[in-house]
Amino acid sequence: MKRLVILLLFCALGLTVNGEAKRKYMWIDCEANYERMGSADSIKIYLQKLKKIGFTDVVVDVKSIMGEVLYKSKIAPFMGEWDGEYRSEDFDMMGIFIKEGHKLGMRVHASLNIFAGGHNFFNRGVIYKRYPQWQSQVYWEGKIIPISEMKWNYNGMMNPANPEVQAYQLSILEEFAKKYKKLDGLILDRMRFDNITSDFSDLSRKLFEEYSGIEVKNFPDDILYWVKNDEGKMEYKTGDLFPEWSEWRAMVIKNFMQDVHNMLRRVNSKLLIGDYTGAWYPTYYHVGVNFASKEYDPSKEFWWATPNYKNTGYAELLDIYMTGLYYTTVTKEDLDNATGNPGRRDEPGMDNSRTFWYTVEGGSELVKELTQGVVPVVGSIYVEQYEGDEKLFGRAVKQALDSNEGGMMLFDMSHIVTRNWWDVLEKSIKGN
């Protein structure tokens, strides 16, 4: 009788003894699935397939890195073409996902890229046509240049500190939330600065000085400067004011997150609010983001954090937090036995160190400590990193699911389709 009561309690809490009730999210990227998700029949087929192999949730990307959207908007431009494929503005992809997903008992979330505004490989996006004045100004090898000139960097980011940029993004999010009232959740992506080298516009300097009360006499070198190394290559160094600058950038993102939270709660109090970032917190200050709980104090561990940096933590504002465990080393034991190449490390803020948090298991532990239980953490796997190693991919998926109470997210479906990894995926998420 006692065991029955315990089991009933677990069920009421949405849990089971073996963890089977953990959420399994599939991310459906905007560009990569543009043609694939271009018809109602295709959407139905893939939702049914995902449901069958054990997925409980889908995240549908509806606002690309170019700032173009896949729904009819009065604010943002419609993404009517990609890679030679075309769509009608009247095709309501998101509406179909919600209707068909709910029929299957799945939760349906939407993802919107926030401060991304252009694709530099194609000279396309809102920073190219509509709002070039909003693009990030990057301090690169001793010169401040617009991010659109950095053709080696595909992601044309805006300046998150610009009040006009923030107001524009808030208006898009509000319009979307009002349009799709039956949506289960809204996941914010790229709610960050481009990297440690941005934004160094005159506006950012002014806003930093107002925030900190510090006059930057030698801008930007008092914050970041460039030198030639022993090999004759340019590399950046941090100046004396960098910790204060780091705090200000993180506060910009925290305050924007607070504005989003307040607005979405007002528009639809039932809507789950989520965020997707990388998990590599010790270097994530490069993009100006503090996804930790406000109770965690990084200044006790890291040189780049001021005593006030903890006030920039925003985990308490989230209902779902997806953390990118972009590591090909799965367990801490794997790390202990590892030799040679540490794996692909090309995301903003990453380095080549071999520390425990650069593993799926260890990274999950770190994020759990940082968020302190205030939001469910969803361990997120980037499929493409496991190219050529289906077995390792399966291990990573299972580890992400085992290590995170919020479940597992997979980025993204197109990589499963092109590699035909459905069988190993099903076995991993069902624990076989």
pLDDT(322) > 60: yes
Average pLDDT over residues 136-153: 97
Q: How confident is the model at residue 1 (pLDDT cuts 50, 70, 90)?
A: very low
Of 46-50, 139-143, 354-358, where does mean pLDDT reach its minimum?
A: 354-358
Average pLDDT over residues 287-304: 97
Of 13-17, 73-77, 138-142, where does mean pLDDT reach its minimum?
A: 13-17
Strand partners, 124: 119
Quick one: what percent of the chain has pLDDT higher than 70? 92
Report d(CA 128, CA 120) in Å as an integer: 9
What confidence tens digit (pLDDT) does each residue in 87-107 have? 999 999 999 999 999 999 999
pLDDT(9) > 50: no
Q: Nearest to residue 250, comparing CAs of 324, 305, 319?
A: 305
Report strand pairing: 143-146 vs 57-63: unpaired
Top pLDDT among 7 and 29 is at: 29
Average pLDDT over residues 60-81: 98
Return the pLDDT at 12: 37
Most confident of 311-315, 334-338, 353-357: 311-315
Q: Does domain 26-137+146-195+242-429 have CATH number 3.40.50.10420?
A: no
Average pLDDT over residues 115-125: 98
Q: How confident is the model at residue 13 (pLDDT cuts 50, 70, 90)?
A: very low
What confidence tens digit (pLDDT) does each residue in 392-432 have? 999 999 999 999 999 999 999 999 999 999 999 999 998 86
Q: Where do the domains of the chain lie?
A: 26-137+146-195+242-429
Beta-carbon-side half-sphere exposure of residue 290 (alpha carbons within 13 Å): 31
What confidence tens digit (pLDDT) does each residue in 235-277 have? 999 999 999 999 999 999 999 999 999 999 999 999 999 999 9
Q: How confident is the model at residue 3 (pLDDT cuts 50, 70, 90)?
A: very low
Average pLDDT over residues 364-387: 97
Average pLDDT over residues 185-213: 98
In three-state form (DSSP H/G/I as H, E/B as E, the rest C), the secondary structure along the chain is: CHHHHHHHHHHHCCCCCCCCCCCEEEEECCCCCCCCCCCHHHHHHHHHHHHHHCCCEEEEEEECCCCCECCCCCCCCECCEECCEECCCCCCHHHHHHHHHHHCCCEEEEEEECCEEEECCCCECHHHHCCHHHECEEEECCEEEEHHHCCCCCEEEECCCCHHHHHHHHHHHHHHHHHCCCCCEEEEECCCCCCCCECCCHHHHHHHHHHHCCCCCCCCCCCEEEEECCCCCEEEEECCCHHHHHHHHHHHHHHHHHHHHHHHHHHCCCCEEEEEEECCHHHHHHHCCCCCCCCCCHHHCCCCCCCCHHHHCCHHHCCEEEEECCCCCCCHHHHHCCCCCCCCCCCCCCCCCCCHHHCHHHHHHHHHHHHCCCCCEEEEEEHHHHCCCHHHHHHHHHHHHHHCCCCEEEECHHHHHHHCCHHHHHHHHCCC
Average pLDDT over all residues of the chain = 93
